[in-house]
Amino acid sequence: MASQDSNNNDLAYADTLWKSADALRGQVDAAEYKHVVLGLLFLKYISDAFAARREGLAAELEADGITGAQMESLLESRDEYTAERVFWVPPEARWQNLQNQAIRPDIATLIDDAILAVERDNPNLKGKLPRDYARRSIAPEKLKGLIDLIADIGFKGDRAKARDSLGRVYEYFLGKFAQAEGKLGGEFFTPRCIVRLLVEMLEPYEGRVYDPCCGSAGMFVQSERFVEAHGGQTTDISIFGQESNPTTWRLAHMNLAIRGIEANLGSQPADTFLRDLHPDLKADYILANPPFNISDWSGKLLEKDVRWRYGTPPAGNANYAWIQHFIHHLAPPNGHGGGVAGFVMANGSLSSGSGGEGEIRQRIVEADLVDAIVALPAQLFLTTGIPACLWFLTRDKTGRNLKHGGPNRKEGRRGETLFIDARKLGTLQTRTLRVLTGGDGGETLLSDGLGDPRPDSDIGRIVYAFGQWRGEPAPAWWDAAEHGDWTYRDIPGFCKAETIDAIRKHGFVLTPGRYVGAEEQEEDSEPFEEKYPRLLAELEACFVEGERLMGVVRERLKGVGRG
């Protein structure tokens, strides 16, 4: 409960900060403003973490009898901080110094100089922070107001709690900026419930995790949380990513840095198709939300690319270029199984036949790579109304790569694909935004999402159906009396396991609605000759009550007229 209270407090504070900061925004649009706010938040966090370490170090030195000039020298020793995995913050970049000078007309230049100093003294951050405050021509009084607001956030004390607190505020701001920006926001923000669903389905416990269009690095953050929540070591996973948008690439580095997550996102931003920064990588887990239906992906320049094993993607749509890029980077089958991938894709990818996409899809299905397809409900994404789905691919359907012990299905699931129609799931959070509940308070963007989802939650229904079908053992806490037997069953209207032959009969169209059928309806046992007069009598009673209420309204209106 304490953790949930902390989440709610962070949510309330982030919302207050957002509204206050938004009121200061003025001439800077949201697409620009996010870098102003998030850059300052990052600077405040590393400054607070530095100050907390400095105070702790001073106490240690004093206890050892070290004082005066010797203490001051050690307090300014960079190694005393980096050894504790705390960023070294040079004097000119410390928050108190900036806040004291916030009234100066050149405060924007001072911020740029502070960030440059941080990059200079922390090589792993070089070139990865926003360093263009002066260029943005923000009025000094607006920057001062924003600095004063952010100064109220405290990131001292317990480092893990401070890091998590900033992480939630950071994620909240990313979501709010995505809403404010419209279409552009989709370049860097994937709804948290979608990220959690992908992570829960793939279960990235150990190995190489890859996202070739990583945006603000949300997939990586949730993967690390999953490992921690299930008792694993975050050092057991290695993170690789790539992002073409330079400002989003910097956001990703800041998002990872505040959580202490090490990742290889390449030495610079780069286009994944034209310049694959990890050409030899064979990943154990691929999680991604690539841009939908992009037409300007340089397809004509890549017609003979080695990645197009199942057919050359059409030059006018990158969907099957992304899908084959994922397949190309999946680890091959080995003694422990093979690589698995889960990614978001436009619904058109499930049925399109234009530009040879149908033939490519057929070859991928016949290669037995498609593990599951999930049709998603509408209104999950902040920035697009395009219907979307989730693809899950695997190199190995024997069950060797399942966690929690050996597979229950000794024969594996070769030649099968699971179809899940989740279009009716989800809860409206606002008039235009829907979320998948995760059994963790996931109705809000800031819930931790730690631990297993509840079986009656949206994410739980999908995850446990997939786990049962794959042959995973039941979780230790699963109570058959409460949740039912841990056995996969086709559920009309929701899930259906089909063979490659059945998919072939449907022309290799992968739309789940074609396979799961209609939802079972409760049988109406009341005979028509009894139901009709009952319903007619209820209708007549409604008419009578309506007339009575109309009479009351007329009398009330007459009284108003006399007054």
Query: What would the pLDDT profile of 16-60 be if each residue is shown by its tens digit?
Result: 667 666 656 666 666 667 778 888 888 998 998 899 899 999 999
Residues 314-326, mean pLDDT to the nearest whole number: 96
Instruction: Return the minimum-mean-pLDDT range out of 334-343, 352-361, 513-522.
Output: 513-522
Tokens of 145: 């107001």
**Contact at 8 Å (CB) between 20 and 153?**
no
537: left (phi over 0), alpha (psi -120 to 50) or beta: alpha
- The DSSP call for residue 107 is H
Predicted pLDDT of residue 520: 58
Query: What would the pLDDT profile of 143-176 be if each residue is shown by its tens digit?
Result: 888 888 888 776 766 666 666 667 667 767 766 7
Tokens of 266: 């390449």
Task: Return the residue matching tokens 């979780």.
Answer: 475
Contacts of 148 (CB under 8 A, 6+ apart): 99, 102
H-helix or E-strand spanning residue 375: strand 370-375
Predicted pLDDT of residue 443: 37
CB half-sphere exposure, 531, CA atoms < 13 A: 5
The sign of the torsion formed by the CA atoms of 199, 34, 46, 240 equals: positive
Asked if the model's pLDDT at residue 554 lies above 90, the reply is no
Query: What crossing angle do the helices spanning 68-75 and 30-63 adopt, rounded to 10°?
Result: 150
Residues 240-253, mean pLDDT to the nearest whole number: 88
Residue 478's identity, in one-letter code, is: W
Q: Nearest CA to 420 among 431, 436, 407, 433?
A: 436
**Radius of gyration of the chain measured on its C-alpha atoms:** 28
φ and ψ at 391, to 5 degrees? -105, 140
Q: Say how far apart CA 550 and CA 143 lie, in whole Å.
A: 60
Residue bearing the bigger pLDDT, 174 or 433: 433
Asked if the model's pLDDT at residue 208 lies above 80, the reply is yes
Task: Give the chain's count of helices (H) and strands (E).
Answer: 18, 10
Length reported for the chain: 563
Distances (CA, A) of 435 to 190, 192, 457: 12, 9, 11
Predicted pLDDT of residue 245: 85
The sign of the torsion formed by the CA atoms of 118, 121, 125, 130 equals: positive
Percentage of residues in the chain having pLDDT higher than 70: 82
H-helix or E-strand spanning residue 198: helix 192-202
Predicted pLDDT of residue 350: 97
The DSSP code sequence of 294-323 is -S-S-GGGGTT-TT-TT-PPPTT--HHHHH
Q: Nearest CA to 321 among 331, 310, 330, 332?
A: 310
Query: What would the pLDDT profile of 111-147 be if each residue is shown by its tens digit?
Result: 999 999 999 999 888 888 888 898 888 888 888 888 8
Residues 424-445, mean pLDDT to the nearest whole number: 71
